[in-house]
Amino acid sequence: MVGQRFLEAWSEQPAARDWRVTVLAEEPRPAYDRFHLSSLFSGGTTGDLALCPPGFLAEHGIDLRLGDPVAAIDRAARLVRTRSGSEVRYDVLVLATGSVPFVPPVPGTDAPGCHVYRTIEDVDAIRAEAAHAATGVVVGGGLLGLEAAGALRAGGLATHVVEFAPRLMAVQVDDGGGAALRRKIEELGVTVHTSAGASGVLTGPDGRVRGLALSDGRELPADLVVFSAGVRARDQLARDCDLPVGQRGGIVVDAHCRTEDPAVLAIGECAQAVDGRVYGLVAPGYQMAETAARTIAEQSGPGFTGADTSTKLKLLGVDVASFGDPHGSAEGALDVLYSDSRSGVYRKLVIGTDGALLGGVLVGDTEGYGALRPLAVAGKPLTVAPEQLVLPAGFASAGPLALPDDAVLCSCHNVTQGAVRAAVRDQGADGVAAVKKCTRAGTGCGSCLKQLGTVVSEELAAAGVDTVQGLCEHFAHSRAELYEIVRVTGLTTFSELLARHGTGGEGCEICKPTVASILASLGNGHILDGEQGSLQDSNDHFLANLQRNGSYSVVPRVPGGEITPAGLIAIGEIARDHGLYTKITGGQRIDMFGATVDELPVIWRKLVDAGFESGHAYGKSLRTVKSCVGETWCRFGVQDSTTLAIELELRYRGLRSPHKLKAAVSGCARECAEAQSKDFGVIATSAGWNLYVGGNGGMTPRHADLLAADLDRETLIRTIDRYLMFYIRTADRLERTSVWLERLEGGLDHLRAVILDDSLGIAAELDELMARHITGYQDEWAATLADPDRMRRFASFINAPGTPDPAVTFVPERDQIRPARPGEAGHPLNSPVLVAGTRLEVLTP
């Protein structure tokens, strides 16, 4: 990556036309993006990772020689010899040899089944091995280690992470952040072992891996071991030709990236900078590449004396970020903390004695990273109280944070906010895509894109230009616009939409599930079929809610809360036979917890046979329509609320939407069903039904607004139809109806005009969309059970279908079960013999 950035920076120098450039590469392909290497585990391709633009090498006369690395450097003759025996003379030599994975010097690391995680070939080897493995261990709890663990877990392996430090991501986060990260990761079914290292790889009679011995004396069963315990500078070429290297590795360079030999430069992970550090991140490497290009071209410019090491990424679905000085090492630094163990959110800001923001750690919720990181790097004081920024929803309500123009917005390419504003103001950039092309901001790790979009919009607005907020870096369109594009064009796949209306790449965690939801809302097939099956949010992958210990919950639909004795008996027998924990939910359903992936089809076969269907507790869709007993039983009831609730729930079941939908019907003004706290709620009157919309509970409760009063049944249902379809059509991603209604221009009056008075002339379209949903509805679980291809995904282990996951364990409590906690008897961390026995049972056949 750093070598490719050097070529790009060099090609921009006026002197470049007078030079001939030869690139000697060890790998069999041009430069690719190692930062997103894990995307190959989730359907990405090597082409998606390519960094070298088509035609770039030919345009600049660059001679790229693949698969033939340098074996020796003769500095006196200014000549390098490659592995094949070729000799290439140089006037200037740039070493961008990167780093190599560190493998602990313990016995057995060369056994079949041991891997490192660094290249595309490494990923291919791990994937091939994982297809025939049951248990995997990752040695290393840093960035790459947790990515590797996520890949193994997604492949159905019981997964362990072993980290020598007392916490995960020890360099980036503090103890509190590490604890929050560990809790979130263990809830996903990955077992974490900290304060323990690898002391040896255990092998079987065939010489293959069978386990990993830990430094504390324990043994973990394993069919696959991935070493991701850090990297070491690849500086052997420099050592062999007597160039100085650091005490802990890394070719020593000055601020202009020159080694002791002025004709030899070193950049990236193989180099030790003037501050004595070897930087293992891409952003410092890019800055060194740009510095080296200026040095060779004899251009003035800042040298490289150090770099921002801020990081923002998603590990196993958990958002993690650190910036500035996350550990508060400055004298007198103070911490402002917020920690919520229940929701897995941890936020810490480090404040200096002068009120300046020095750094921070964010786990579980990284909102604000894009604005806070530049302030911390610049050492600028906050414009709002730091306490406001760490509290729930505090960042959203704090208003914009003022960044100075010299604040670095994109640390990968060292682009300041002033440079971004200048690109819009002086170079005519009319959007994020144009600014990326002008400045390269946002083309690295992508963590600055949200803040980049904000700055671009502000500058365009200041110039009087109307701006439209895009969904993400891959789509300049909003979610509402993408919905219209799909509806009008009839496109049925994400790849088609991306090719025609996006900006390339493979998509991201924002646009993939958003488009999947749009496709589902418009009835484009079963959500597990074809490409759509890989786009869904985590719960949709198995049509069930993932729980903290890696098990799943089963929630059959109980329309209106009405259930027959036979239905109750069927649910009770299923829960009893499968040992599930049962609980009555707030939405008048019965939730059954503790099912493993392989059990889900068996349980659902029994439920479907008993007349139940999916309750969609796992999807962004209609959940329940709660009801009281109404006039049928209650002496205060004035309408049949139960019958109406059942009718509405069956009408809107399976309706995919930007966020989950909850509803209720109360039979009188006493409001026993709590209809006024729902996305839509109905309350009976003596003259008909009152319809309330835009309410919700949760972290920020909102009382619903009265949309229309005393409606007859037909008008009520038609109004709800239009309300829901207008919301689905125009809301942003993950936007509740409450937030959507408050954001809607014209508010409740505009909504009333659209769906009651047809002010936009779209009522017929909304009616038709709802009619299409109703006629096209199919129960997702019944359809899944009838399709062998869909059923294949429901296996804890690919090579042993029907075998339960040994990492999913329970303990008894109040005559039922609950997940075993770390440190508690029954948890796999404390039961290596049980886990090994389960693994042996899998392998014996």
Tens digits of per-residue pLDDT, 649-664?
999 999 999 999 999 9
Residue 387 is predicted with a pLDDT of: 81
Q: Is the pLDDT of residue 504 over 80?
A: no
Angle at CA of residue 274, ends 272 and 278, nearest 5°: 25
Residue with tokens 């974490």: 192
| CA gyration radius, the chain | 29
- Residues 656 and 644: their CA atoms lie apart, in Å, by 21
Which uninterrupted H or E stretch holds 144?
helix 143-154
Indicate the pTM of the whole model.
0.58
Ranges assigned E (strand) in 528-602: 545-546, 552-554, 581-584, 590-595
Task: State what percent of residues in the chain have pLDDT above 70.
Answer: 92
Q: What is the pLDDT averaged over residues 273-300?
A: 92
Question: Is the four-CA dihedral 52, 58, 61, 62 of positive or negative sign?
Answer: positive
- Residues 735 and 728: their CA atoms lie apart, in Å, by 10
Tell me if 590 sits within 8 A of 583, measured CB to CB.
yes
Nearest to 173 by CA among 312, 283, 285, 35: 312
- Residues 595 and 604: their CA atoms lie apart, in Å, by 11
> Angle, to 10 degrees, between the axis of helix 417-425 and the axis of helix 449-462?
40
Q: What is the pLDDT averaged over residues 825-845?
A: 39
Angle at CA of residue 574, ends 571 and 577, nearest 5°: 150
Q: Is the pLDDT of residue 795 over 50?
A: yes
Q: Is the pLDDT of residue 399 over 60?
A: no
Residue 508: partners with Cβ closer than 8 Å, 6 or more residues away: 446, 472, 473, 474
- Residues 160 and 146: their CA atoms lie apart, in Å, by 10
Eight-class DSSP state of 405: T
Residue 507 is predicted with a pLDDT of: 81
512 phi, psi to nearest 5 deg? -65, -55
Residue 374 is predicted with a pLDDT of: 83
- Residues 676 and 679: their CA atoms lie apart, in Å, by 8
Residue 798 is predicted with a pLDDT of: 55
Residue 845 is predicted with a pLDDT of: 31
- Residues 284 and 304: their CA atoms lie apart, in Å, by 9
Secondary structure in 3-state letters for 68-98: CCEEEEECCCCEEEECCCCEEECCCEEECCC
Q: Is the pLDDT of residue 197 over 50?
A: yes
How far apart, in Å, are the Cα atoms of 596 and each of 15, 634, 806, 827? 63, 41, 10, 16
Q: What is the pLDDT averaged over residues 58-86?
A: 95
Residue 469 is predicted with a pLDDT of: 65
Ranges assigned E (strand) in 513-632: 545-546, 552-554, 581-584, 590-595, 622-627
In angstroms, the first-to-last Cα distance of the chain is 45
Strand 622-627, strand 661-666: pairing: parallel
Residue 531 is predicted with a pLDDT of: 72
Q: Is the pLDDT of residue 593 over 80?
A: yes
Q: Which of 157-171, 214-228, 361-375 has the lowest mean pLDDT?
A: 361-375
Q: What is the pLDDT averaged over residues 703-726?
A: 96
- Residues 311 and 237: their CA atoms lie apart, in Å, by 30
- Residues 726 and 158: their CA atoms lie apart, in Å, by 44
Q: What would the two tokens of residue 43 be?
A: 């359907």
Residue 444 is predicted with a pLDDT of: 73
Strand 224-227, strand 114-116: pairing: parallel
Residue 402 is predicted with a pLDDT of: 65
Q: What would the two tokens of residue 130 be?
A: 């994982």
Residue 734 is predicted with a pLDDT of: 86
Residue 441 is predicted with a pLDDT of: 85
Q: How many CB atoms lie within 10 A of CB 659?
A: 21
168 phi, psi to nearest 5 deg? -70, 150
Residue 394 is predicted with a pLDDT of: 56
Residue 807 is predicted with a pLDDT of: 67
Q: How many CB atoms lie within 10 A of CB 836?
A: 18
- pLDDT class of 839 with cuts at 50, 70, 90: very low
Residue 69 is predicted with a pLDDT of: 95
Question: Is the four-CA dihedral 410, 414, 418, 421 of positive or negative sign?
Answer: negative
- pLDDT class of 824 with cuts at 50, 70, 90: low
Secondary structure in 3-state letters for 644-663: HHHHHHHHHCCCECCCCEEE
Tell me if 119 sits within 8 A of 148, measured CB to CB.
no
Mean pLDDT of the chain: 87
Tens digits of per-residue pLDDT, 520-549?
999 878 888 877 766 766 677 788 888 877
Residue 827: partners with Cβ closer than 8 Å, 6 or more residues away: 809, 820, 821
Nearest to 317 by CA among 430, 562, 454, 149: 149
Q: Is the pLDDT of residue 815 over 90?
A: no
Burial 241-264 (b: 16+ CB within 10 A, else e): bebebbeebbbbbbebbbbebeeb
Q: What is the pLDDT averaged over residues 460-484?
A: 80
Residue 347: partners with Cβ closer than 8 Å, 6 or more residues away: 337, 338, 339, 360, 361, 362, 363, 365, 389, 390
Residue with tokens 């259930």: 563
- pLDDT class of 825 with cuts at 50, 70, 90: low
- pLDDT class of 440 with cuts at 50, 70, 90: confident
- Residues 212 and 114: their CA atoms lie apart, in Å, by 10
Task: State what percent of residues in the chain have pLDDT above 90.
Answer: 52
- Alpha carbon 508 to chain centroid, angstroms: 8
Q: Give the three-class secondary structure for 280.
A: coil
Q: How many CA atoms lie within 13 A of 573 on its CB side?
A: 10
- Residues 536 and 531: their CA atoms lie apart, in Å, by 10
Residue 538 is predicted with a pLDDT of: 64
Burial 402-416 (b: 16+ CB within 10 A, else e): ebeeebbbbbbbbbb
Q: Is the pLDDT of residue 324 over 50?
A: yes
Q: What would the two tokens of residue 268 be?
A: 């990236």
Tell me if 99 sits within 8 A of 1, measured CB to CB.
no
Q: What would the two tokens of residue 642 be?
A: 């139960």
Residues, the chain: 845
Amino acid found at 77:
A
Residue 461 is predicted with a pLDDT of: 78
Q: Is the pLDDT of residue 398 over 50?
A: no
Q: Which of 107-111, 172-176, 421-425, 820-824 has the lowest mean pLDDT?
A: 820-824
